Amino acid sequence: MTIRRAVKDYLRFLETSRGASIHTVKNYRHYLTSFQTWAEANKVENVDQFSGEDVIDYQLSLLDPGVSKRSRTTVNYYLIALRSLLKYLIGRDITVLPPEKVGLSKIPSRQISFLEREEVLQLIREAGDDSLSGRRNRAMVAVLFSSGLRISELLSLKRNQVNLSTGEFSIRGKGGKVRPGFLSEEALEVLGEYIDLRADTNPCLFIRHHKNSQLDSKKNPLSHRTVQRLISQAAIKAGITKSVSPHKIRHSFATDLLRNGADIRSVQAMLGHSSITTTQIYTHVTDKSLRDVHRRFHSQPLKPDTGVDETTRS
């Protein structure tokens, strides 16, 4: 099988059998098209011709600063996509290089940036006024912090998915996996105020509001860029100097849960992570026991040794 055919078949598989999101398919198409272009330029036409030496050559081409300034983290996305392609082909009984032969670049431990709870509350307050759009903005931030949703998941929510009495809903996340979501009483209150003011028939939970309110019923949710812009503007008004994004609010949700005693498996389920390893990136900022050990055994007053026994002083 040619590499061109393999890539085409795998992308079709992602769209149909796997039910991957449009965003995921778009990213994998970008990564695998890069691999396909490299393979054709290096006379590697068929999948069974791709060898371990080719993996190294391909990885070096991705890291070549003269071609593109990709970080090692970004390069790993290309290699993970290639691994997934090889795994798919093996599942079809096609002889190819084992996926584990595609080694990933070693990268530094990931540092998580998040907002403190008070910063999030200030962000919600400054997100909007009492207009319909303003209430929508406050509700979006409140729902993000209360549920830990990805921005794509937030914008895919429909009004009939959220039970405003119990604060529960189901969301389809990455890989088409469905998981439960929950809203706090505070988030429910802000969201309820927004929903009660709407007079449109748009099924989406968060929409663009026009001067001509009749246009609100068009079935178009807000764009990712619009939500990012609204949150960035709210952060400036709130006096938050660090960069703020929908994903940083997701980080803040996870950190807040772990700091308050939630077990990591439950947090994994609420975030929709396939692997516990992904969730463990938050533990280094939530381990209170390490701080307590430091305070107990190291944070003692520094007193000079005078050589005088204090008990002998009169």
Each residue's pLDDT tens digit, 169-211: 999 888 778 999 999 999 999 999 999 999 999 999 999 998 8
The yes-or-no verdict on residue 64 having pLDDT over 70 is yes
Catalytic residue check, 150:
yes
pLDDT score at 176: 78
Catalytic residue check, 282:
yes
| Residue with the larger pLDDT of the pair 260 and 121 | 121
Catalytic residue, chosen from 209, 248, 250, 251, is 250
Catalytic residue, chosen from 174, 208, 224, 259, is 174
Q: Give the separation between CA 213 and CA 266, rounded to whole angstroms.
A: 41
Catalytic residue, chosen from 83, 150, 209, 248, is 150
How many other CB atoms sit within 10 Å of the CB of residue 212? 7
Whose CA is closest to 48, among 79, 92, 15? Answer: 92
pLDDT score at 179: 92
pLDDT score at 314: 45
Q: Give the separation between CA 145 and CA 5, rounded to whole angstroms.
A: 43
CB 207 within 8 A of CB 222: yes
Catalytic residue, chosen from 5, 26, 177, 247, is 247
Average pLDDT over residues 89-96: 95
| Topology of the domain comprising 117-291 | hpI Integrase; Chain A (1.10.443)
Alpha-carbon Rg for the chain in angstroms: 25
Determine which helix (DSSP H) or strand (DSSP E) holds 181, and give its type and residue range: strand 178-182
Query: Domain 3-101 carries which CATH code?
Result: 1.10.150.130
Catalytic residue check, 247:
yes
Catalytic residue check, 174:
yes
Angle subtended by helix axes 185-197 and 132-147, to nearest 10: 150
Determine which helix (DSSP H) or strand (DSSP E) holds 211, and give its type and residue range: none
Structure tokens belonging to residue 215? 């246009």
CA count, 13 A, side-chain hemisphere, 81: 26
Catalytic residue, chosen from 10, 78, 194, 282, is 282
CB 85 within 8 A of CB 94: no
**In the chain, what are the domain boundaries?**
3-101, 117-291
265 by Cβ neighbours in 10 Å (0-12 / 13-18 / 19+) ranks as exposed
Cβ contacts of residue 99 below 8 Å, gap of 6+?
Answer: 83, 84, 86, 87, 90
